[in-house]
Amino acid sequence: MITIKGLKKTFTTKSNTIIAVDDINLNINKGEIFGVIGYSGAGKSTFIRLINRLEQPTDGNITIDGQEITDLNQKELRLSRQEIGMIFQHFNLLWSRTVRDNISLPLEIAGVPRVERLERVEELIKLVGLSGREDAYPSELSGGQKQRVGIARALANNPKVLLCDEATSALDPETTDSILKLLIDINKELGLTIILITHEMHVIRKICHRVAVMENGRVVEQGDVLDVFLHPKQQVTKKFVEQVMGDKEQDDAYEFLTTSYTTGKNIRLHFIGETTNQALISRVAKEFDVEINILQGKITQTQKGAYGTLVVNIDGENNELARAIEFIKSTSVEVEVAPNA
């Protein structure tokens, strides 16, 4: 659907040259929600503006649904942009226009006849949950409602791709969740490809299928969200994962718990996807002559499945302990046995 090769953007000032985006190579599949995460200054907002050429690439190629975006002239680009919707952090609504008129604006620019335009606007108002607010002005709307207008406006021309630049960072947590749910519903209902820029890992966890991590203008890590959560390789990725998983806090608690229980074996289990539904602990308790104490646990959901950790103390005779641990290792659950204190 979207192929990005060798994408680069530099800004030249009087004193130096700044490389904002540096040799990015990505493939984004049709109908997926692809997240790009990075701290401020990582280059992610420049990157997303390169996709619809709000910024002109210094080098590289962007192909969307077979069309080479970087080769288009201005007239061709204007037509192509109708197939690329974009929503912004601060909504970018026209304050002198009502909800209906803000959503209608891209259709007016595209020359859509009035009757057809009104029908499309009504469809979009229902889609984003704004029925009854058609004649309200932006000053009369909550932050979440304003973003819903922004989403409806971005969908007006039936785009193939929706770009979201920090679309929830100006919203409170509850409103953020409602907007993310709306984006998931739109993705499923319309089969829309969504590229989402954020600095919040919980947004990636809740909505994205795959993720790319940016640092200093480069993509330093990418993959399925669940894989990145389970096996972050770069230090910046590990910091983002800690935002959601609380790894530092859990590791400290794990160290305390495992040194407090000095008999038997202390084990941390990692459940992935379908394995989170396994009744593993009850099976072990029934099949082996051991006692099991659950010390700590957490399950986190992603679009590709659940990821859970469980810390247990298993006590019993050495032979039985060894048999129970070997049984657990024979399943698809990952096992981490703490050394004896």
Interval 40-52: pLDDT, tens: 999 999 999 999 9
Residue 146 contacts residue 138 (beta carbons within 8 Å): yes
Average pLDDT for residues 96-106, to the nearest whole number? 96
CA distance 323 to 317: 10
Fold of the CATH domain 246-337 = Alpha-Beta Plaits (3.30.70)
CA distance 60 to 46: 14
Residue 162 contacts residue 154 (beta carbons within 8 Å): yes
Backbone angles phi, psi at 279, to 5 degrees: -90, 55
pTM of the model: 0.82
pLDDT in tens, 165-220: 998 888 888 999 999 999 999 999 999 999 999 999 889 988 999 999 999 999 99
Average pLDDT for residues 89-97, to the nearest whole number? 92
Q: Partners of 17 in the beta sheet?
A: 12
CA distance 69 to 187: 23
pLDDT band at 338 (very low <50, low <70, confident <90, very high): confident
pLDDT band at 256 (very low <50, low <70, confident <90, very high): low
b/e per residue 255-285 (b: at least 16 CB within 10 A): eebbeebeebbbbbbebbeebbeeebbeebe
Q: Is 27 helix (H, G, I), strand (E, B) or coil?
A: strand
CATH of domain 2-244: 3.40.50.300
Domain ranges of the chain: 2-244, 246-337
